[in-house]
Amino acid sequence: MPESIRLSKRLTELARCSRADAECYIEGGWVSVDGKVVESPQHMVSTEHVELDPEATLEAPEPATVLLHKPCGFDAIAGRKPAAALVTPATRWAQDPSGVRLLQRHFIRLTPLVPLDHDASGLMVLTQDGRVWRRLTEDADRIEQEFIVEVAGDIAPYGLRRLNHGLHYRGRELPPCKVSWQNEIRLRFAIKAVQPGQIRDMCAQVGLDVVAIRRIRIGKVPLGKMPAGEWRYLPVGERF
pLDDT interval class at 37 (50, 70, 90): confident
* DSSP-based three-state secondary structure for 128: coil
**pLDDT tens-digit readout, 211-233:** 999 999 999 999 999 999 999 99
User: Residue 201 domain-assigned?
Assistant: yes
Q: Are residues 213 and 225 in the same domain?
A: no
Q: Is residue 177 part of a domain?
A: yes
H-type helices in 96-217, by residue range? Answer: 130-138, 159-164, 198-205
Q: Is residue 239 part of a domain?
A: no
Structural domain total, the chain: 3
pTM, two decimal places:
0.86
57: nearest Cα among 99, 23, 25? 25
Share of the chain above pLDDT 70, in %: 100
Specify the pLDDT at position 147: 98
**Helix and strand totals (H; E) in the chain:** 5, 16
List for the chain the helix, strand, coil content (%; round to 5). Answer: 25, 30, 50
Q: Clarify whether residues 119 and 132 are in a common domain.
A: yes
